[in-house]
Amino acid sequence: MDLMKKKVALVTGGLSGEAQISYKSAITVNGNLDRNKFDVYQIDINPSGWWYTPENSAPQKVNRDDFSITDSGSKINFDVVLLCIHGTPGEDGKLQGYFDMLGLPYTSCDAATSALTFNKRYTVAVAAFGGISVANSMHLFKHTPITPEAILEKLQLPVFVKPNNGGSSIGMSKVTTADALAPALEKAFKEDTQVLVEEFISGREFTIGVFKTKGALQVLPITEIETSNEFFDFEAKYQGKSVETTPALIAETIQSQLEAAAKRVYEVLNCRGVVRIDFIYNEQKGLPYMLEVNTVPGQSAASVIPQQVKAMGVSLQDFYTSIVEESLN
C-alpha cells in the first residue's frame, strides 16, 4: 500500500428515508474516486450500527471512539471523510460535530451550517438577513396548533407546505385551495414536528452547484428544471419525471444574477464542499428567489451535480479529487 495515499472514509447510509438515495450517490462517488491518490473504505451507517465490510469478509463494527476500522488485521485511521449521507445524521450537523471533536476533516459544510440549512425556515431567515430574496413564509410547530384560516390571513394561495427538516420533497404538497390546506399540514406533520408554509413564487426553476477549489469559489453550469409534476418532488428528482436542461438556456443577465445569488448564499451561510442551491427566477420582478440549500447534494447517475460537472467539461474523478483535497487544506 502506498503510504502517500490518503485514506478516505466514504460514509453512506443514514437513518432516514433518504438512505436509498445515499447508497446510489455512494456508487457514483466510489466508482469515480482516483485510486492512485486515495485508498477508499466504504462505511455504512444504518439503524443497526456503523459498519465496514472488508472484501470477502463479514461486516465489522466501526470503533466510534476514534472512527477507526480493522482491515486485514491492521488498524486503519482515516485522513478524511467523504460524506455521502442525505438526511440525518450526515446532512444535519450530527456527524459533522462528531468528526470535529475527533479533529477529522470532512467534505461537507461544518456542524453549524449543516444544522442551519437542514432547517428550511432558519435557512430562509438567515438568507433574507443576508440580503437574498426569499418567499413569504410561516414556521409552524406541532405543539402549537394554528388553524388553516389563520395561515391564510397571512399568506396568499397557492402555498407550498413542507416538512421543515429533511430533503427530497417527501411530505411536501402544493396547496391551491383553502380546503386542501388542512390535509397538506397533516401530511407534512407526519414527517416532522415543524412545518414550513411558503407562498408560491411563479417563475422558472433553476438549481446551481457551487464549490470551492484551491480556495476559490466556483459555480457549476446552471440547470433549469421543468417538471410535469406540481413541483420538483421525490418522483421528479429520482424517477426521471422532470426535464433538466444543463446548461440552462437563459439570457446572460439572468445567468449572472443567478450565479451572483448562488455565490452570495454560499458565503452568507458559510458553506464548504459542494452545495446545490435551488432558485425560482421571477421575471416580473427580475429577481432570483432562493428556495433551499442542499449541503449534501445527490451524486447518483440521475442527479444534478454530476450532470453539471459533465457540462463544465470536467471528469467526475477530477471533481471529487478537488473536493477531497480542498477539505484537507
pLDDT for the residue numbered 49: 97
pLDDT at 30 over 70: yes
pLDDT for the residue numbered 230: 58
- Is cis: bond before 145, omega within 30 of 0? no
**Higher-scoring residue by pLDDT: 226, 220:** 220
pLDDT at 20 over 60: yes
Q: Phi and psi at residue 294, in whole multiples of 5°?
A: -110, 110
Round to whole Å and give the CA distance between 143 and 65. Answer: 37
Asked if residue 300 lies in contact with residue 21, where contact means CB atoms within 8 angstroms, the answer is yes
Q: Which of 239, 67, 232 is nearest to 160 (CA)?
A: 232
Round to whole Å and give the CA distance between 310 and 198. Answer: 33
Tell me the pTM.
0.87
**Bridge partner residues of 209 (DSSP):** 276
Burial class of residue 157, CB neighbours in 10 A (0-12, 13-18, 19+)? middle
The model's pLDDT over 123-155, given as tens digits with 9 standing for 90+, comes to 999 999 999 999 999 999 999 989 999 999 999
Round to whole Å and give the CA distance between 104 and 81. Answer: 7
Burial 295-304 (b: 16+ CB within 10 A, else e): bbbbbbeebb
Residue 2, C-beta contacts closer than 8 angstroms, at least 6 positions apart: 39
DSSP string of 49-63, one letter each residue: EEEE--TTS--EE-B
The model's pLDDT over 86-122, given as tens digits with 9 standing for 90+, comes to 999 999 999 999 999 999 999 999 999 999 999 888 9
At 19, the pLDDT band (50, 70, 90 cuts) reads very high
Round to whole Å and give the CA distance between 233 and 240. Answer: 11
At 192, the pLDDT band (50, 70, 90 cuts) reads confident
**What H or E segment, with its residue span, contains residue 237?**
helix 234-238
The model's pLDDT over 275-292, given as tens digits with 9 standing for 90+, comes to 999 999 999 999 999 998
CA distance between the termini of the chain: 23
Asked if residue 294 lies in contact with residue 217, where contact means CB atoms within 8 angstroms, the answer is no
User: What domains, with CATH codes, occur in the chain?
Assistant: 6-107 (3.40.50.20), 115-134+201-328 (3.30.470.20), 137-199 (3.30.1490.20)
C-alpha 67: how far from chain center: 24
Which amino acid type is present at position 67?
Answer: F
**What H or E segment, with its residue span, contains residue 195?**
strand 194-199
